[in-house]
Amino acid sequence: MAQEMKATVTKTAKAFGKVESIPSERRHMSNWDLFATWVGANANNGTWYIGGVIAACGFLTASTTLIVVGLISYALLAVASYMGYRTGLPAMALTRASFGLRGSFIPSVINVIQFIGWAAVNTFIAATSISYIFGELFGWPLYGKPGGTFGLIVGIVIMSVLHLLSISLGERSVRLIERVGIILVVVFVLWESVVVFQTVSFSDIIGWQPPHSLKMSSGVAADTLAAFNLAWVTAASDFSRFTNKQSAATKASFLGANFGLFWFAFIGLFATIGTAVSLNHFDPNNSDPSTVAAKLGLGIIALLVIVLTSTTANAVNLMSAGSALTNMTHRLSLNVSLWIVTLAATAVTFIPVYLASFLDVFETFLDGIGMFLGPEIAIFLVDYFFLKGKQYRLSEFTKVHGAYWYAHGVNWVAVASWGLGVVAYWGLKQVPAIATTIGATFIAMAITAVIYLIGMRVTRTPANAANANN
């Protein structure tokens, strides 16, 4: 009997495998590298598109909401990034301390799904640009016109090949892509800004209001932006663990993420409203950068830069999804995991082609992210900073019956708190006074944090108390 129990423990330990903490001598990312990584993560098609989507609030409401939500979200990114800097561990491995070794599969699954989804979003937008390029060069029908789907499908295949190349060298290729990509992104955005303000005046943009039937409330915009921004919080440690500088992990990450967000989201906001003013017609389905660039007559070069920005953003998306997948099964190397999530993202990209409009799929995706992701983030931040006093025992991250094993590998207090947080989000969305003003996301996160904090202190055993203090 003892031998059978020992064999079971050994088999379980192998299932969790080794969690690598990046040692000091292998940490080469500088302040500039982290700043550029997070600028590149947000200076992309998805951020432009989100700016176009919230244009439905009108400029003043959209811009105010954008700034407030961005600052709150990326303050959370900075503190999550600090966790990676202190421990050297990837984000999803860190959730083992709060959710348990087996319980961490829940946030890992959420992360794999959401980053595959983000990669698909950026791929779809870039593929739309490629279809426009093919239309210019070869006269192919544009996407949205009869016969235009073929060009989009070819674009999806091309983008998938580019993504496989971009993640082929892991973290090193991400650094290279971000360093080169950020320069071209800067040039493109400056060019786009000039063209927009040559087309319409700033006063026209400020004074424009969407049709009443299409108007978005500030609460919906806040939840949309929060879901967009918080996705990066769960990836923060995947990159900060490669730096020796606390300022790079916290300040550079915070500034880079906000800089990229404000820059590209405002360009998307300006461009979408500018196009609506100049054409005297607003359609939120046409908020993607490819369509706007084509309507503003920016030409093939602009579309090529959109393709590049998709590649820079997806290098981060795919790296984070691959890292989350390796947390669930260490039989797969990071490179194999990256190939799997890239191919999965390619398959997901076809959903808007055949099932629904891109905007409908995008908004459904964001609503799901906000519901599931916010409570998860609240739990692992509270666990590290409040319950464990910023001290995790690295030797326990793979130890069966160790400090982070809890009950059969699952911290049921964390799982229950997460579930109640999801319910709280859904419930708050049914309250008009909240859903249409400040949104449900951050309130649901606060509720989850309080539930988890109280739950852990009420259920704390002497053994758990000792572990928490080590």
Q: What is the pLDDT of residue 173?
A: 57
The answer to the question of residue 68 being in a domain is: yes
Q: What is the pLDDT of residue 14?
A: 46
Residue-number span of the structural domain to which 343 is assigned: 24-356
Residue 145 phi, psi dihedral angles, 5° rounding = -105, 160
Q: What is the pLDDT of residue 111?
A: 84
Residue 221 to residues 49, 51, 227, 259, 287: CA-CA distances in angstroms?
13, 10, 10, 19, 15
Cα–Cα dist 304/4, whole Å:
60
Q: What is the pLDDT of residue 114?
A: 87
Q: What is the pLDDT of residue 10?
A: 40
3-class state of residue 140 by DSSP? coil
Q: What is the pLDDT of residue 304?
A: 72
The answer to the question of residue 451 being in a domain is: no
Q: Kindly compute the dihedral angle of the four CA atoms of residues 99, 102, 107, 112, in this order, to the nearest 10 degrees.
A: 160
Cα–Cα dist 349/317, whole Å:
14
**Cα 31 → chain centroid:** 21
Q: What is the pLDDT of residue 463?
A: 43
**Which pTM value belongs to this model?**
0.83
Report yes or no: 363 and 228 within 8 Å, Cβ to Cβ: no
Residue 420 to residues 6, 367, 424: CA-CA distances in angstroms?
36, 17, 6
Residues in CB range of 344: below 8 A, 6 or more apart: 116
The widest CA-to-CA distance across the chain, in whole angstroms, is 80
The answer to the question of residue 13 being in a domain is: no
Instruction: Tell me the helices (H) and strands (E) count for the chain, helix number first.
Output: 23, 0
Q: What is the pLDDT of residue 15?
A: 46
CATH classification of the domain holding 240: 1.10.4160.10
The answer to the question of residue 11 being in a domain is: no
Number of domains in the chain: 1
Cα–Cα dist 325/313, whole Å:
19
Identity at 195, one-letter amino acid code: V
The first and second tokens of residue 133, run together, are 């390029």
Residue 29 phi, psi dihedral angles, 5° rounding = -80, 125
Instruction: Give the number of C-alpha atoms closer than 13 A to the C-alpha of residue 28, restricted to the C-beta side.
Output: 6
The answer to the question of residue 418 being in a domain is: no
Q: Is the dihedral of CA 257, 28, 91, 395 positive or negative?
A: negative
The answer to the question of residue 136 being in a domain is: yes
Which among 111, 363, 110 is positioned nearest to 225, based on CA atoms? 363
What are the per-10-residue average pLDDT scores of the chain (470 residues)?
Answer: 40 54 88 88 81 93 97 97 94 93 90 86 83 81 79 88 71 59 69 74 90 92 95 90 95 96 89 83 70 64 71 75 76 78 88 76 84 95 95 90 93 97 97 96 98 93 47
Q: What is the pLDDT of residue 185?
A: 66
The answer to the question of residue 456 being in a domain is: no
Q: Based on C-alpha coordinates, what's the Rg of the chain?
A: 22
The answer to the question of residue 181 being in a domain is: yes
Strand-pair partners of 407: 410
